[in-house]
C-alpha cells in the first residue's frame, strides 16, 4: 500500500513512524510546504498518554535526553497564592512520564527517526498541497513549490491531511469554512533562560482571564553546562480585540502585555523579570475551528490540527495528533480496504477529540483558578479550604483529565 501524508509536523511525522512500525513494507511519502525544517515553536507538554504512544515508537530515551520531566501541576492566583498542586506523570503513579519539551526538539527527533527508518528521500520539502482527485482505486494529490510551480502529481492508495490549522486538504472538503475562529484572546509566548523555580519541574498556571490575564510557565530544558539554569517556557494570555496573524512564527511586542503582569512578583517567581528576560516574543491568536462530523472522504482523511484545531491549552494540540496517528496506523494495519480503515479511525477518534475542542474553550485545565478568583473577587484569601473544597478541586481537575484522555485508567487502557 502507498500512503501520502500532506504535512510533516508533529502529527504527520508520528503517523509515518507508526505506520512503518506496524508494516515496514509500506510505501510512505511525506510532503511539507516548507523548504527546510527548522526547530521552530516553543514549549509543548506531552502527558503520559502521548508518551505511551511515542514509547511504542521507541522514542522515549531520545525524548528524555532533551525534555524536562514534569513533577507536578501547580495552580496559583494572580497574587501568587497557591490554589492546588498535585504530582503528575510517574510521580502520580502513571506508568509513563509527563515531559515538557521544546516543539523544535520534538520535531527534530521525529524527523531524524523518519529519515533513519523510512529514508530522507521519502520526505519531500517545498511541496505545498494544492488539490486532489480520487476515484475507486486511487487518490492523486497535487503539490506546488514556493513559487507556485506545480510538481508532478503524486498517486497513492490513501492521502492523509496533516497540514495543520490552515489545512489545504480540509479546505477541499470544507471550502466555505473560512479562517480559524478568534474569540478575543491573544497569546504571547517566549522562553527565558533562568534559575529553576518551585520544584524545578513544575507545570504552573497563574491567574484568570476575566480579571486581567493569565500565565502558563514550565521549564522545557535543563542546561548541562554546569550553570544550573533552565530554559523556561511561558505563555501569557489576555483579552483583546486585535487578532494577530494565525502564524506560529509571528513576532509580538512585550509592551502589549507586560503591564498586565508588572506586579506579579512572588517569592517563588518574578514574572515581569522572566517576561523581560526572553530573547524574543511570539504572538499567536487563541483560535480553533468548530468541530466537524466527518474527517474521512473515500481515500482521504484528516489528522491532528487539520482535523480538530483546538485552543493550545492543556498540552492537547500535540498529544491528540500523536494519538490520532497511533489510531490511524492501527486501523490501516488491521483493515482490508483502506476506505473502511479510514472510517474506522474516524469512528474511534472523532467524538472524543471534538469534546476536547469544546472543553478547551469552556473549561480549560486552569478552571480551578478561575473558580477561586471569582469566589474571592480577585482578593487574597486566608485559607484555600474556605474558598474551595478538596473534593471540588479533585472533581474539576480529574474531569479535564478524563475528557482529554490522560486520566490513569485511560492511559493504562
Ligand X SMILES: Cc1cc2nc3c(=O)[nH]c(=O)nc-3n(C[C@H](O)[C@H](O)[C@H](O)COP(=O)(O)OP(=O)(O)OC[C@H]3O[C@@H](n4cnc5c(N)ncnc54)[C@H](O)[C@@H]3O)c2cc1C
CA gap 160, 154 in Å, rounded: 13
Shortest approach of ligand X to residue 176 CB, angstroms? 18
CA gap 220, 241 in Å, rounded: 31
* CB-CB contact of 254 with 189 (8 Å): no
Tell me if 72 contacts ligand X by CB under 6 A: no
Residue 206 or 321 having the CB closest to ligand X: 321
Residue 9 or 405 having the CB closest to ligand X: 9
Residue 169 or 411 having the CB closest to ligand X: 169
CA distances from 282 to 158, 173, 381, 407 (A): 36, 31, 34, 32
Which of 17, 160, 271, 321 touches ligand X by CB under 6 A? 321
Tell me if 174 contacts ligand X by CB under 6 A: no
Can you read off the three cell numbers belonging to residue 213? 490575564
Which of 5, 8, 47, 401 touches ligand X by CB under 6 A? 8
Shortest approach of ligand X to residue 363 CB, angstroms? 19
DSSP characters for 257-325? THHHHTT-B-SS-BHHHHHHT-S--EEEEEEE----S---BTTEEE-GGGT----S-TTHHHHHHHHHH
Shortest approach of ligand X to residue 391 CB, angstroms? 31
Shortest approach of ligand X to residue 111 CB, angstroms? 10
CA gap 301, 335 in Å, rounded: 15
Shortest approach of ligand X to residue 35 CB, angstroms? 10
Shortest approach of ligand X to residue 335 CB, angstroms? 22
CA gap 253, 240 in Å, rounded: 14
Shortest approach of ligand X to residue 359 CB, angstroms? 16
SS3 for 222?
A: strand
Tell me if 12 contacts ligand X by CB under 6 A: yes
**Closest by Cα among 367, 71, 73, 86 to 214:** 367
Write out the binding residues for ligand X, residues 94-123 only, by CB under 6 A: 103
Shortest approach of ligand X to residue 142 CB, angstroms? 10
Give the residue nearest to ligand X (CB): 9
Tell me if 161 contacts ligand X by CB under 6 A: no
Residue 164 or 338 having the CB closest to ligand X: 164
* CB-CB contact of 393 with 84 (8 Å): yes
* CB-CB contact of 6 with 66 (8 Å): no
Binding mask 325-364 for ligand X (x = CB under 6 A): ----------------------------------------
Tell me if 312 contacts ligand X by CB under 6 A: yes
Q: At 142, give phi and psi (nearest 5°).
A: -105, 140
Write out the binding residues for ligand X, residues 390-409 only, by CB under 6 A: none
DSSP 110: H
**Closest by Cα among 15, 36, 33, 39 to 118:** 15
* CB-CB contact of 265 with 272 (8 Å): yes
Tell me if 129 contacts ligand X by CB under 6 A: yes
Can you read off the three cell numbers belonging to residue 89? 506523570
CA 296 to chain centre: 22
Q: Which residues of 24-56 are buried (b: 16+ CB within 10 A; e: fewer)?
A: eebebbbbbbeeebeeebbbbbbbbbbbbbbbe
Number of residues binding to ligand X, judged by CB under 6 A:
32
Shortest approach of ligand X to residue 8 CB, angstroms? 5
- Angle formed by the axes of helices 316-334 and 48-56, nearest 10°: 40
Tell me if 304 contacts ligand X by CB under 6 A: yes
> Which of the stretches 134-142, 195-203, 314-322, 349-357 binds ligand X when contact is defined by CB under 6 A?
314-322
Tell me if 219 contacts ligand X by CB under 6 A: no
Tell me if 164 contacts ligand X by CB under 6 A: yes
Residue 53 or 393 having the CB closest to ligand X: 53
Which of 3, 28, 31, 198 touches ligand X by CB under 6 A? 31
> Which of the stretches 3-11, 147-155, 361-369, 397-405 binds ligand X when contact is defined by CB under 6 A?
3-11
Binding mask 220-249 for ligand X (x = CB under 6 A): ----------------------------xx
Q: Which residues here bind ligand X, judged by CB under 6 A?
A: 6-12, 31-34, 40-42, 44, 103, 128-129, 162-164, 166, 168, 248-249, 304-306, 312, 317-318, 321
Amino acid at each position: 500500500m502507498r500512503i501520502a501524508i500532506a504535512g510533516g509536523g508533529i502529527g504527520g511525522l508520528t503517523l509515518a513512524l507508526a505506520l512503518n512500525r506496524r508494516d515496514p513494507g509500506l510505501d510512505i511519502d511525506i510532503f511539507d510546504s516548507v523548504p527546510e525544517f527548522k526547530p521552530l515553536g516553543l514549549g509543548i507538554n506531552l502527558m503520559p498518554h502521548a508518551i505511551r504512544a511515542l514509547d511504542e515508537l521507541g522514542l522515549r530515551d531520545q525524548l528524555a535526553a532533551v525534555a524536562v520531566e514534569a513533577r507536578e501541576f501547580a495552580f496559583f492566583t494572580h497574587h501568587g497564592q497557591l490554589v492546588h498542586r498535585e504530582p503528575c506523570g510517574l510521580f502520580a503513579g502513571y506508568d509513563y512520564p509527563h515531559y515538557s519539551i521544546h516543539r523544535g526538539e520534538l520535531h527534530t527527533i521525529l524527523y531524524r527517526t523518519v529519515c533513519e527508518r523510512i529514508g530522507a528521500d521519502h520526505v519531500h520539502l517545498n511541496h505545498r498541497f494544492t488539490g486532489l482527485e480520487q476515484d475507486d482505486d486511487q487518490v492523486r494529490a497535487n503539490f506546488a513549490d514556493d513559487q507556485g510551480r506545480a510538481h508532478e502529481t503524486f498517486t497513492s492508495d490513501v492521502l492523509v491531511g496533516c497540514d495543520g490549522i490552515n489545512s489545504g486538504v480540509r479546505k477541499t472538503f470544507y471550502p466555505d469554512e473560512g479562517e480559524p475562529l478568534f474569540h478575543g484572546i491573544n497569546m504571547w509566548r517566549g522562553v527565558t533562560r533562568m534559575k529553576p523555580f518551585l520544584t524545578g519541574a513544575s507545570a504552573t498556571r497563574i491567574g484568570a482571564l476575566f480579571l486581567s490575564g493569565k500565565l502558563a510557565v514550565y521549564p522545557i530544558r535543563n542546561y548541562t553546562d554546569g550553570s544550573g539554569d533552565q530554559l523556561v517556557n511561558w505563555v501569557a494570555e489576555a483579552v483583546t480585540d486585535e487578532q494577530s496573524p494565525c502564524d506560529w512564527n509571528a513576532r509580538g511586542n512585550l509592551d502589549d502585555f507586560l503591564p498586565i503582569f508588572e506586579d506579579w512578583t512572588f517569592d517563588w517567581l518574578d514574572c515581569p523579570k522572566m517576561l523581560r528576560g526572553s530573547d524574543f516574543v511570539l504572538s499567536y491568536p487563541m483560535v480553533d475551528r468548530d468541530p466537524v462530523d466527518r474527517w474521512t472522504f473515500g481515500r482521504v482523511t484528516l489528522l491532528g490540527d487539520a482535523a480538530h484545531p483546538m485552543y493550545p491549552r492543556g498540552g492537547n494540540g500535540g498529544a491528540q495528533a500523536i494519538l490520532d496517528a497511533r489510531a490511524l496506523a492501527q486501523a490501516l494495519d488491521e483493515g482490508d480496504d483502506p476506505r473502511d480503515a479510514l472510517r474506522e479511525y474516524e469512528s474511534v477518534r472523532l467524538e472524543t477529540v471534538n469534546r476536547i475542542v469544546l472543553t478547551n474553550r469552556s473549561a480549560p485545565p486552569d478552571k480551578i483558578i478561575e473558580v477561586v478568583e471569582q469566589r474571592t473577587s480577585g482578593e487574597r484569601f486566608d485559607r484555600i479550604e474556605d474558598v474551595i473544597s478538596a473534593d471540588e478541586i479533585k472533581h474539576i481537575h480529574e474531569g479535564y483529565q478524563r475528557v482529554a484522555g490522560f486520566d490513569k485508567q485511560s492511559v493504562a487502557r
